């Protein structure tokens, strides 16, 4: 996994400098890719001239018959192979399409439906050709692919959790004590990370008295969190800028960091521990759906906590997955890993025994 570490910064020059640590700039020229595009273009020409229901358009109600015909003429496996090649030419790290609109779709029509409105043409060859030639379009498309609207739940998604933390901070009275260390594990695009910083500031803590870290395994998520950068969603970016303005204006961003990490890996002996860990929208979802995987993650997170520290977890996503991992299972796993657990208005809070 590519190791990245960013201090939040919204200066345009810094954003561009760091962006090109991840994305290859300029026009992309590659003979193999051009051959793939040519083959896909030929396939699409036959498809367009023979399919009985017309080409895809926004709002199309896709039927099973449409999927079958499309898959016959435009096999998703061949399209995916071209996309894999495109990603290897566009990104400086080894990306995977797992979980993206392309990899989880049943046919090309479903891909188009999921990527709309960013993609509005039905020819995959035409789309790939433009992506290779147009840097700005390519950047926006990559963020749309890896950061769809469902990633990141918005600010104050878990108000019960925020209220619990407010009371916990008042009870612990961290004013004048050692630096309060916090981790937003699997932070996605960072809304909860900034919410936590704003809560600390609202409770009277100075930015010198805390450190707040956010971590994820997806580099583009990390980049968006650190640089408030959503080239595929201008409204989202503006909302994010407005919400985080106090953090940047007051210099609290210097007490933050975002980095890539796998939360399943335990803390090393010399690593600093945290007082608060948030782990929202992950445990019991598709990445950690079973007791053994949840146990692996919880055990690793426990090594990152000070004695007496707390983990808070909540999930308003993954409704169907909760049948596999209901709150009772999460409680059982936390208890077996040496935590005292209780339910709060949003999710669970688990305290590490001293």
**6 lies in some domain:** no
Q: Where are the beta strands (DSSP E) in the chain?
A: 5-6, 180-185, 210-216, 256-260, 274-278, 305-313, 339-343, 348-352
Q: Are residues 194 and 63 in the same domain?
A: no
pTM of the model: 0.91
Last-in-domain residue among 95, 125, 146: 146
**59 lies in some domain:** yes
Torsion sign over Cα 148, 150, 152, 154: positive
CB 314 within 8 A of CB 161: yes
Q: Are residues 270 and 292 in the same domain?
A: yes
pLDDT tens, position by position, 261-275? 888 877 765 567 999
Q: Are residues 52 and 107 in the same domain?
A: yes
In this predicted structure, what is the pLDDT of residue 9?
97
Here the CATH number for the domain that contains residue 318 is 3.40.50.150
Q: What is the mean pLDDT of residues 195-207?
A: 94
Residues, the chain, total? 354
Does residue 2 or residue 167 have the better pLDDT?
167
Confidence of residue 75 (pLDDT cuts 50, 70, 90): very high
- Residue 277 DSSP class: E
Among the listed residues 113, 110, 101, 122, the one whose alpha carbon sits nearest the alpha carbon of residue 64: 110
Last-in-domain residue among 121, 146, 171: 146
Does residue 271 or residue 61 have the better pLDDT?
61
Q: Residue 61 phi/psi, 5° resolution?
A: -85, 105
**139 lies in some domain:** yes
Inform me whether the pLDDT recorded for 188 exceeds 70.
Answer: yes
Q: Are residues 219 and 134 in the same domain?
A: no
Confidence of residue 102 (pLDDT cuts 50, 70, 90): confident
**35 lies in some domain:** yes
- Determine the structural domain holding residue 46 and report its residue range: 25-146
Between 117-126, 143-152, 263-272, the lowest mean confidence (pLDDT) is in 263-272
**1 lies in some domain:** no
**2 lies in some domain:** no
Q: Are residues 166 and 139 in the same domain?
A: no
Q: What is the mean pLDDT of residues 238-250?
A: 96
Inform me whether the pLDDT recorded for 310 exceeds 90.
Answer: yes
Q: What is the mean pLDDT of residues 19-40?
A: 97
Last-in-domain residue among 97, 115, 146: 146
Q: Are residues 99 and 244 in the same domain?
A: no
Q: How many domains does the chain have?
A: 2
In this predicted structure, what is the pLDDT of residue 321?
52
Q: Are residues 91 and 240 in the same domain?
A: no
- Count CB atoms within 10 A of the CB of residue 270: 5
- Count CB atoms within 10 A of the CB of residue 306: 15
Give me 252's structure tokens.
Answer: 């609290």
Query: What mean pLDDT, rounded, does the chain reach?
Result: 89
Confidence of residue 283 (pLDDT cuts 50, 70, 90): confident
- Helices within 147-206 (DSSP H only): 159-172, 191-202
Q: Are residues 139 and 188 in the same domain?
A: no
**132 lies in some domain:** yes
**CA distances to 77, 113, 136, 186, 303 from 45, in Å:** 18, 20, 27, 43, 57
Per-state percent for the chain, helix, strand, coil, to nearest 5? 45, 15, 40
SS (H, E, C) 294-326: HHHHHHHHHCCEEEEEEEEECCCCCCHHHHCCC
SS3 for 30?
coil
**272 lies in some domain:** yes
């Amino acid at each position: 996994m590519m190791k990245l570490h960013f201090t939040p910064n919204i200066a345009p020059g810094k954003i561009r400098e760091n962006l090109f640590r991840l994305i290859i700039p300029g026009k992309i020229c590659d003979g193999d890719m051009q051959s793939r595009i040519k083959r896909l273009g030929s396939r699409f020409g036959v498809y367009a001239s023979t399919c009985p229901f017309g080409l895809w358009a926004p709002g199309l109600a896709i039927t099973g018959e449409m999927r079958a015909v499309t898959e016959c003429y435009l096999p998703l496996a061949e399209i995916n192979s071209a996309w894999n090649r495109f990603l290897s030419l566009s990104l400086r790290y080894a990306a995977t399409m797992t979980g993206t609109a392309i990899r989880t779709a049943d046919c090309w029509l479903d891909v188009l439906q999921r990527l709309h409105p960013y993609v509005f043409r039905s020819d995959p060859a035409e789309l790939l050709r433009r992506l290779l030639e147009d840097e700005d379009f390519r950047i926006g498309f990559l963020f749309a692919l890896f950061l769809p609207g469902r990633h990141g739940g918005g600010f104050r998604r878990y108000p019960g959790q925020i209220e619990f933390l407010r009371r916990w901070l008042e009870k612990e009275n961290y004013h004048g004590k050692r630096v309060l260390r916090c981790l937003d594990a699997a932070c996605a695009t960072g809304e909860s990370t900034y919410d936590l910083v704003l809560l600390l500031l609202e409770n009277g803590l100075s930015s010198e008295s805390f450190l707040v870290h956010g971590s994820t395994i997806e580099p583009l998520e990390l980049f968006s969190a650190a640089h408030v950068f959503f080239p595929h969603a201008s409204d989202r970016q503006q909302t994010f800028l407005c919400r985080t303005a106090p953090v940047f204006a007051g210099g609290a961003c210097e007490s933050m960091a975002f980095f890539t990490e796998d939360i399943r890996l335990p803390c090393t002996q010399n690593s600093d521990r945290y007082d608060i860990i948030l782990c929202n929208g992950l445990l019991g979802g598709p990445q950690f759906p079973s007791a053994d995987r949840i146990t692996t993650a919880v055990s690793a997170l426990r090594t990152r906590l000070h004695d007496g520290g707390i983990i808070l977890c909540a999930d308003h996503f993954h409704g169907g997955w909760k049948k596999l991992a209901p709150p009772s299972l999460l409680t059982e796993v936390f208890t077996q890993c040496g935590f005292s657990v209780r339910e709060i208005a949003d999710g669970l809070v688990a305290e590490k025994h001293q």
